[in-house]
């Protein structure tokens, strides 16, 4: 299969719907999310009420391996297999708020992982396209999102460095792995008035979270916010 066709492949095969959890388990998870938002997110300065509500609602424990479910609402990244991680809740909320999502926006996410960031974005924008280079992770994320009834996310397998030109432009682009330089293709696919949020820096070195804006005139501005540590963004061979 060519790289172009692989990138264009829509992964819509859903996992079987899971049975309903007991009410007590749902209540415990909801309470854990409420505590997470109060202490880890709102308590650290996130103010957008839509972002806070999305973080209270999306069941993070469904996006981590079962062996890590008890730690799903803790203030830390967690492994999801294949050398990848799900970001800590605060970073997910921060990057989402920085992107300033609007109800009519189209969002591109680079680095689907387990699908958690895409699920959060899906509650805040009209459409999400998310690209994952690790095929098993992408397939699992597509099934998980479908099983949870998230129907405005398209998961694709491919090289995030190239984005997805056919669906551009995007009002929001979020990158959840760190390239050493900002990929030009992502800048080109950002709509005028759009926001690109990503970590930039070497693997194992100092990375900085950046917000890049494209004015209606096409002028690009960059803000560097804080040091972060993400898995490296690796282009396909």
Catalytic amino acids?
87
Cβ atoms within 10 A of the Cβ of 173, count?
29
207-214 and 190-200: which strand pairing? antiparallel
Name residue, tokens 């926006």. Answer: 105
CA atoms within 13 A of residue 95's CA, in its CB half-sphere: 28
Asked if omega into 90 is within 30° of 0 (cis), the reply is: no
Distance between CA 143 and CA 49 in Å, rounded? 29
H/E run at residue 191: strand 190-200
Distance between CA 190 and CA 174 in Å, rounded? 11
> Residue 65 has what DSSP assignment?
-
């Amino acid at each position: 299969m060519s790289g172009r066709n692989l990138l264009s492949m829509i992964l819509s095969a859903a996992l079987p719907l899971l049975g309903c959890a007991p009410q007590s388990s749902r209540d415990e998870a909801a309470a854990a999310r409420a505590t997470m938002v109060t202490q880890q997110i709102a308590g650290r300065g996130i103010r957008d009420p839509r972002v806070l509500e999305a973080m209270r609602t999306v069941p993070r424990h469904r996006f981590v391996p079962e062996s890590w479910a008890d730690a799903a609402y803790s203030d830390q990244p967690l492994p999801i297999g294949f050398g990848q991680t799900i970001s800590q809740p605060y970073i997910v909320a921060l990057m989402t708020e920085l992107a300033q999502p609007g109800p009519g926006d189209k969002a591109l996410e680079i680095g689907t992982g387990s699908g958690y960031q895409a699920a959060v974005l899906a509650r805040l924008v009209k459409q999400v396209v998310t690209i994952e280079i690790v095929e098993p992770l992408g397939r699992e994320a597509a099934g998980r999102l479908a099983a949870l009834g998230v129907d405005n996310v398209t998961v694709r397998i491919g090289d995030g460095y190239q984005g997805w030109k056919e669906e551009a432009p995007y009002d929001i682009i979020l990158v959840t792995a760190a390239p050493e330089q900002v990929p030009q293709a992502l800048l080109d696919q950002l709509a005028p008035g759009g926001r690109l949020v990503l970590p930039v820096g070497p693997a194992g070195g100092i990375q900085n979270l950046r917000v890049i804006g494209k004015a209606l005139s096409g002028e690009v501005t960059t803000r560097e916010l804080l040091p972060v540590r993400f898995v490296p963004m690796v282009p396909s061979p």
